[in-house]
């Protein structure tokens, strides 16, 4: 059986590594916010490689499951992923422009649906939903009116913000986890030092 003190140290070290990973993500997010153009191209190239690797893995899986009903579906999906990955890697600028346009249209449609839904339903979250809809509509219009120039920074900005907030979340979990492990270890030490009652 593992000694509780050893287990506590292992847990504390694991939470410390989690906080360190969070700090690295925060630094990467801050760097990305400063160099949004580089972050945009980096995110596109990573996205392309993920599509390519995912397509190759899917193709291997389809080949292993040949003879089943889903063989051809797996081959087609894998081939589409591989083709999309190659296109994204070879033409990251064009892909960025297309995805930025798609993001702008998503913001616009989402904003319009939230605005209309909040006015029609008038539920308990009316004000909040109305604000979300207006913000989505405004963001979509800003990105769309500045397109294709906005494609140089929009996706990199979102990517960097995602890294930043994920990093802050990991830091919070790591620091909080270490604090809890420390409190539990201190409580256990105190209870072991107290004399047993007869």
Q: pLDDT per residue over 154-182, tens digit each?
A: 777 788 888 888 888 888 888 887 777 77
Mean pLDDT across the stretch 101-120?
80
Structure tokens, 188? 């256990």
Mean pLDDT across the stretch 19-30?
87
Closest CA to 155 of 41, 31, 10, 34: 41
pLDDT value, residue 19: 84
Dihedrals φ, ψ of 70, to 5°? Answer: -100, 10
Q: Per-residue pLDDT for 96 more than 70?
A: yes
Token pair 């004000």: residue: 127
pLDDT value, residue 1: 47
How far apart are the C-alpha atoms of 22 and 167, rounded to whole Å? 4
Structure tokens, 197? 């009652």
Q: pLDDT per residue over 178-196, tens digit each?
A: 777 777 766 665 565 555 5
Q: Per-residue pLDDT for 118 more than 80?
A: no
Distances (CA, A) of 50 to 42, 86, 111: 12, 10, 30
139-164 in b/e burial notation, b at 16+ Cβ within 10 A? Answer: bbeebbeeeeebbbbbbbbbbbeebb
pLDDT value, residue 8: 67
Q: pLDDT per residue over 127-153, tens digit each?
A: 777 777 787 788 788 877 778 777 777
Do residues 41 and 89 touch, judged by C-beta distance below 8 A?
Answer: no
Burial (CB < 10 A; 0-12, 13-18, 19+), residue 111, is buried
pLDDT value, residue 160: 84
Q: Which span out of 8-12, 63-67, 126-130 was modeled with the highest average pLDDT?
A: 63-67
How many Cβ atoms from other residues are within 10 Å of residue 105's Cβ?
A: 13
Dihedrals φ, ψ of 125, to 5°? Answer: -100, 30
pLDDT value, residue 145: 79
């Amino acid at each position: 059986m593992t000694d509780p003190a050893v287990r506590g140290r292992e847990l504390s070290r694991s939470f410390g590594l989690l906080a360190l990973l969070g700090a690295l993500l925060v630094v990467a997010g801050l760097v990305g916010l400063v160099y949004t153009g580089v972050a945009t191209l980096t995110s596109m190239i990573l996205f392309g490689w993920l599509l390519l690797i995912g397509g190759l893995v899917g193709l291997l899986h389809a080949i292993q499951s040949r003879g089943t009903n889903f063989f051809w579906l797996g081959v087609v999906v894998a081939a589409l992923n591989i083709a999309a990955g190659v296109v994204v890697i070879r033409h990251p600028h064009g892909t960025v422009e297309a995805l930025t346009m798609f993001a702008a249209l998503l913001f616009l449609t989402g904003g319009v649906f939230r605005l209309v839904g909040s006015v029609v339903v008038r539920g308990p979250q009316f004000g909040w939903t109305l604000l979300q809809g207006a913000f989505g509509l405004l963001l979509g219009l800003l990105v769309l009116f500045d397109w294709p120039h906005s494609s140089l920074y929009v996706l990199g900005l979102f990517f960097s913000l995602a890294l930043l907030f994920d990093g802050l979340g990991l830091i919070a979990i790591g620091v909080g986890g270490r604090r809890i492990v420390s409190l539990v270890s201190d409580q256990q030490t105190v209870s072991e030092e107290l004399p047993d009652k007869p």
